[in-house]
């Protein structure tokens, strides 16, 4: 099979971080599908360690115990129903696949896991034994050495010998089982710590053509470009460039945003923040409010990369897990509950999802900036957007949009033929007169011409 099928141009995915399966299913039907989201990245579905003594931290899930689909988010049938429900709503499911390692040397080094399986580090009965793990049993210490990064232990997590046939076939078995249930793609966790040829071998044996994007944080020893033969790679440089620039208010500098030099637009998965950066190295997150939405809306309006919208649970302590029952099972998620932030529902974000798909195929046109904190650009005859991190802005813009009355998708949507937000006129010459408040966005596209 061919290595990886990217989503169609203009597609947008949401990362429903730690959402339980029943809740993801409901959100696919109620909001994600109807609002044009094409895919969802879900948290790891496989059996994982259970750390009751530490209050069930979110990162339990990154320590696999077996490939049974039985986690804090639900069991195999919950998972399978979610995939079917989301697919019916037109939403693909992308699974966060932990392939590099099994469990670590943390607070528990033995079972049972979330599905009840017994284990010890380096011994997972019926799945892996001692000889399936890398010879190096020490933490990676020299981050200039690619061999160490790939063949020693990340965070003391038991490192799989992904070069071995037995390990490869177990991993392809897991991924093909997911594909069989209707899963359309994978985020490959810790891909930088797996030799690219091993991932290539594993992915080439998958059924169909799943979309693959790989978690590779560029450093001096390893370039994301080593992985582009297998699928996309996460573009952390784009995230820093976008988030840092929007936070500092110097939007004019985004004109040529292109992220990691070694990645082209069609090789890059882009985002404002992810579940790690929002905890360890936050630049802009939901906690920043409007400027965060400006950044996400810009990412969606601008044609670079395959965008991923973060959807978080609210947290103070970076270790803490989502709301859970006393047995550690995650409580249902929904956007009426303030524990679940639902960035993906914010109007300037949700409205720009359809903007991106309507604009697909058109490059950036009619760029304008004030040299500083206000920019605007079009997507040919299909869309035009304004981003303002400065003072309230009133001016006329030259666009390439056809004449008409448009509903601003950053402030509302069209319901029963009427705009719930602001409407704007484009005159016969494509000119738009608009007022855009500080820290807000304006988004017009031909799909919401009234």
> Out of 47, 92, 159, 189, which one is annotated catalytic?
189
Q: Is 157 in the site for ligand LM2 (CB under 6 A)?
A: yes
User: Which residue lies nearer to ligand LM2 by CB, 167 or 442?
Assistant: 167
Q: Which of 259, 386, 278 is nearest to 341 (CA)?
A: 278
Q: Is 105 in the site for ligand LM2 (CB under 6 A)?
A: yes
- Looking only at the bridges linking them, the beta strands covering 404-407 and 414-415 are unpaired
Q: What is the maximum span of the chain, computed from C-alpha positions, in angstroms?
A: 72
Phi-psi region of 305 (alpha: psi -120 to 50; beta: other; left: phi over 0): left
User: Which residue lies nearer to Ca ion by CB, 102 or 441?
Assistant: 102
> Out of 70, 215, 218, 373, which one is annotated catalytic?
215
Piece in contact with Ca ion (CB under 5 A), picked from 111-119, 151-159, 207-215, 314-322: 151-159
Spell 119-151 as b/e; 16+ CB within 10 A means b: bebbbbeebbeeebbbeeeeebeeeeeeebbbb
Piece in contact with Ca ion (CB under 5 A), picked from 99-107, 116-124, 271-279, 329-337: 99-107
CB of 131 to Ca ion, least distance (A): 15
Q: Is 276 in the site for ligand LM2 (CB under 6 A)?
A: yes
Selection from ligand LM2, Ca ion, none that 273 binds (CB < 5 to 8 A by kind) is none
Contact in structure between 278 and 58 (CB atoms under 8 Å): no
CB of 121 to ligand LM2, least distance (A): 9
Selection from Ca ion, ligand LM2, none that 62 binds (CB < 5 to 8 A by kind) is ligand LM2
User: Which residue lies nearer to ligand LM2 by CB, 85 or 230?
Assistant: 230
Would you call 215 a catalytic residue per the annotation? yes
Question: Taking each helix axis from N to C terminus, what angle separates 347-359 and 290-301, rounded to the nearest 10 degrees?
Answer: 10
Strand partners, 435: 394
Position of minimal CB gap to ligand LM2? 104
Which tokens sit at 37?
């989201």
Question: Scanning residues 188 to 217, which ones bind Ca ion (CB under 5 A)?
Answer: 193
Which tokens sit at 204?
């080439």
Selection from Ca ion, ligand LM2, none that 159 binds (CB < 5 to 8 A by kind) is Ca ion
CB of 215 to ligand LM2, least distance (A): 4
Token pair 């000119």 in the structure block, residue? 431
Q: Is 384 in the site for ligand LM2 (CB under 6 A)?
A: no
Report the residue from 189, 241, 273, 373 that binds ligand LM2 according to the rule CB under 6 A: 189
Q: Is 100 in the site for Ca ion (CB under 5 A)?
A: yes
> Binding residues for ligand LM2, how many (CB under 6 A)?
14
Alpha helix segments (H runs only) across 57-107? 76-88
Q: Is 223 in the site for ligand LM2 (CB under 6 A)?
A: no
Sequence-ordered list of residues with C-beta below 8 angstroms from that of 268, at least 6 positions apart, any chain = 232, 233, 234, 235, 238, 259, 260, 304, 305, 306
Q: Is 186 in the site for ligand LM2 (CB under 6 A)?
A: no
Q: Is 62 in the site for ligand LM2 (CB under 6 A)?
A: yes
Residue 373's alpha-carbon distances to 285, 291, 365, 440, 444, in angstroms, are: 19, 11, 19, 12, 20
- DSSP-derived 3-state class of residue 292: helix
Q: Is 106 in the site for ligand LM2 (CB under 6 A)?
A: yes
Contact in structure between 330 and 44 (CB atoms under 8 Å): no
Q: In the complex, which residues of this chain contact ligand LM2 (CB under 6 A)? A: 59, 62-63, 98, 104-106, 155-157, 189-190, 215, 276
Query: Which residues of this protein are in contact with Ca ion, per CB under 5 A?
Result: 100, 150, 159, 193
Catalytic site residues? 189, 215
């Amino acid at each position: 099979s061919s290595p990886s099928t990217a989503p169609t141009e203009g597609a947008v995915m949401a990362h429903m971080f730690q959402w339980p399966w029943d809740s993801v299913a409901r959100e696919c039907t109620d909001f994600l599908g109807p609002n044009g989201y094409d895919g969802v990245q879900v948290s790891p579905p496989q059996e994982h360690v259970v750390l009751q003594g530490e209050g069930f931290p979110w990162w339990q899930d990154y320590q696999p115990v077996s490939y049974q689909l039985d986690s804090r988010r639900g069991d195999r049938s919950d998972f399978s129903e979610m995939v079917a429900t989301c697919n019916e709503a037109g939403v693909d499911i992308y699974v966060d696949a932990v392939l590099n390692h099994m469990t670590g040397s943390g607070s528990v080094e033995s079972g049972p896991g979330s599905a009840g399986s017994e284990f010890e580090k380096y011994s997972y009965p019926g799945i892996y034994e001692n000889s399936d793990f890398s010879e190096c049993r020490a933490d990676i210490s020299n981050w200039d050495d690619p061999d160490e990064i790939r063949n020693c232990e990340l965070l003391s997590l038991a490192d799989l010998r992904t070069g071995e046939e037995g390990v490869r076939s177990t991993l392809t078995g897991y991924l093909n089982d997911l594909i069989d249930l209707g899963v359309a793609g994978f985020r490959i966790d810790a891909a930088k710590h797996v030799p690219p040829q091993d991932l290539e071998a594993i992915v080439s044996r998958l059924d169909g053509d799943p979309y693959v994007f790989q978690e590779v944080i560029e450093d001096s020893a390893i370039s994301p470009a080593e992985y582009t033969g297998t699928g996309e790679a996460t573009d952390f440089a784009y995230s820093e460039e976008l988030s840092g620039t929007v936070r500092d208010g110097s939007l004019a500098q985004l004109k040529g945003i292109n992220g990691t030099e070694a990645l082209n637009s069609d090789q890059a998965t882009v985002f404002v923040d992810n579940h790690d950066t929002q905890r360890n190295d936050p630049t802009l997150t939901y906690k920043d409010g409007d400027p965060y939405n400006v950044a996400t809306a810009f990412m969606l309006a601008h044609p670079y990369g395959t965008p991923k919208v973060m959807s978080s649970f609210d947290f103070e302590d970076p270790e803490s897990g989502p709301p859970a029952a006393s047995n550690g099972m995650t409580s249902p998620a929904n956007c009426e509950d303030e524990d679940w932030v639902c960035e993906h529902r914010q109007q300037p974000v949700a409205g720009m999802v359809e903007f991106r798909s309507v604009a697909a195929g058109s490059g950036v046109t009619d760029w304008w900036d004030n040299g500083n904190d206000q920019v605007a650009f079009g997507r040919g005859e299909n869309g035009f957007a304004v981003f303002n991190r400065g003072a309230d802005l009133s001016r006329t813009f030259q666009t390439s949009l056809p004449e008409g009355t448009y509903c601003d998708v950053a402030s509302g949507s069209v319901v029963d033929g009427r705009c719930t937000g602001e409407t704007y006129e484009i005159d016969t010459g494509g000119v738009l007169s608009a007022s855009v408040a500080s820290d807000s966005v304006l988004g017009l596209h031909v799909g919401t011409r009234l």
